[in-house]
Structure 1
Amino acid sequence: MEYLVICFACLAVSGLTLFSGFGLGTVLTPVMALFFPVETAVALTAVVHFANNLFKLALFGRAADWKVTLRFGFPAVLASLAGAWVLVRLAHLEPWFVWSIVGRTMDVTPVKLLLGVLIAYFALRELRPRRQGRPYPAAWLPVGGLVSGFFGGLSGNQGAFRSAFLLGAGLTKEAFIATGVVLACVVDVSRLAIYAGLAGTEMVSGNAGLLAAACLSAFLGAFFGGRLLKKMTLDAVRLLVGIMLLTLAAGLVLGVL
């Protein structure tokens, strides 16, 4: 049963999140956690996420804007260290409020609430008609990298901020996706080292068959998503990203994620 559920989730979410640049790990981690301990679910998700990003890099990497990548990526790497440092000091804070539904308890921590509000702000900004919103100037790219990297180190949720700022960088839809993939791969390299220590490499190697099937499913999702990309406009990509940003923000604010 776990093969069917996990592979279907990888196929569907990989295709959808190709356009947004974030979301695979957010959705896949709780799916993995249905069948494995949390630490193993985190490690398995990280492997699938990294493998899928490498596959997308092979498909779309040529379209990446390397100037944007460097201006955004370098501050992001540095800021992620600061975010991780802050996380250690915030880890002891109690949730601000807790609620439950159908037997599941949701806790809303200060970090989740802050992330949700910020992501919602960026989403609403992007969903406004172009005549009402001003695109981010190029000078904002390092700022975007700092914000994305800091909250990535703080909570692991950095793809949403990355996508929000890249949307205003004047990229084509192909360059938007490719640049996001390159940046995601850089982050994944450092994450995998941490997660390997968290879950233990033997836990990952012990599920090699499931990982292979999950990665293949994610590859297929990305491949078919890439075919669909040719039929989508940049405005359609922008709308989809905005909707997914709002969905993620709501999940964080409500404590669902």
Structure 2
Amino acid sequence: MEFVLICFVAFAASWLTLISGFGLGTLLLPTFILFFSPLEAVAMTAIVHFLNNVFKFSLLFKQVNRYVALWFGVSGIVGAAVGAWVSTNVEKSIAYTSPLDGISEVSWFSFLVGLLMIVFALQELLLGKVGFAFSKKAMVPGGVLSGFFGGLTGHQGALRSMFLLKSGLTAQAYVATGTAIALMVDLTRIPIYLGRISKGGIDKHTLLIASATLFAFIGAFIGKRMIEKITYTTVQWVVGVLMIVVGLLLLLGLL
């Protein structure tokens, strides 16, 4: 069941990512969390995300805006390193009264993942239509902020897109540049995740990760051909609601 579901989500999310500029991690993380611990889920999502970004970059690298990729990406590396360190060092649990089953114990990492999933879902659903104007000076703090949350939970795309959409890039340059920046963040956070997971922690899931990556490649390839033809408003709402539901389950200690 987990194999089929994860591969399907990887395909669909990767396809959507070529249109929206983000979405693979947003969809794949809550799917992995249904079957694995939060840290394992974040690490496996990051690996699929990274390999898929390498593939997407090979398709779109000619459209990358080097100025934006440099300033946003380098600052994103700093933020990602800090976020990944926080995510792998916050290990204590918190206990509180759950309205469903009395006293619940939830790790701080699960709590942070759940909370941020809800926050980013609401940002996308409620604030996605709000217009913002960002100057080029906002690229550095924007990179640090999105990189930090990318390192913390993998949710870098929504914040990155909020800045890049206002940077004057063409549609293809927006997706290509976002891919280049995401690659920088992935290269920073993945070694930190893997260094904190026990030996063999995700090695036994190599086939699952490889299969999810393959389906993500197929989705990206198809998305590249349909980038100018698809709208995704309905899917964004489905993703947002899914993120909120899974986030609440994490906060309540049910996942």
TM-score, scaled to structure 1 = 0.74
Alignment-mate amino acid for residue 66 of structure 1: R
| Residue 127 of structure 1 pairs with residue 129 of structure 2 | yes
Within 1, Cα distance between the matches of 2:112 and 2:40? 26
The verdict on how the C-alpha distance between 1:39 and 1:88 changes in structure 2, with shifts beyond 3 A counting, is closer
- Tell me the alpha carbon deviations over residues 81-126 of structure 1, each in whole angstroms, 9 at most, x when there is no partner: 444566688765847884559xx99999578657755774576554
Paired residue secondary structure (2:211): helix
Q: How does 1:67-146 map to 2 (within 5 A)?
A: 67-83=67-83, 92=92, 94=94, 98-100=98-100, 109=111, 113=115, 116-117=118-119, 120=122, 124-128=126-130, 133-146=131-144
Structure 1 stretches of 5 or more lacking a match? none
Among candidates 198, 215, 220, match of residue 218 of structure 2: 220
Aligned twin of 2:29: 29
Within 1, Cα distance between the matches of 2:220 and 2:237? 20
Moved more, 190-199 or 29-38: 29-38
Structure 2 stretches of 5 or more lacking a match? none
Aligned twin of 1:171: 169
Alignment-mate amino acid for residue 150 of structure 1: F
RMSD: 3.8
Contact 2:113 2:247 (C-alpha < 8 Å) held by counterparts: no
Within 2, Cα distance between the matches of 1:88 and 1:41? 12
- Tell me the alpha carbon deviations over residues 189-243 of structure 1, each in whole angstroms, 9 at most, x when there is no partner: 12221232233564444333333322111111111111110325xxx57x68975
Within 1, Cα distance between the matches of 2:54 and 2:213? 11
Contact 1:20 1:240 (C-alpha < 8 Å) held by counterparts: no
- Shift, 1:71, TM fit: 1.4
Within 1, Cα distance between the matches of 2:97 and 2:22? 27
Contact 1:53 1:181 (C-alpha < 8 Å) held by counterparts: yes
Alignment-mate amino acid for residue 186 of structure 1: M
Within 2, Cα distance between the matches of 1:57 and 1:143? 24
Aligned twin of 1:207: 205
Aligned residues between the structures: 247
| Residue 162 of structure 1 pairs with residue 160 of structure 2 | yes
The verdict on how the C-alpha distance between 1:231 and 1:143 changes in structure 2, with shifts beyond 3 A counting, is same
- Tell me the alpha carbon deviations over residues 158-216 of structure 1, each in whole angstroms, 9 at most, x when there is no partner: 22211111111111111111111111111111222123223356444433333332211
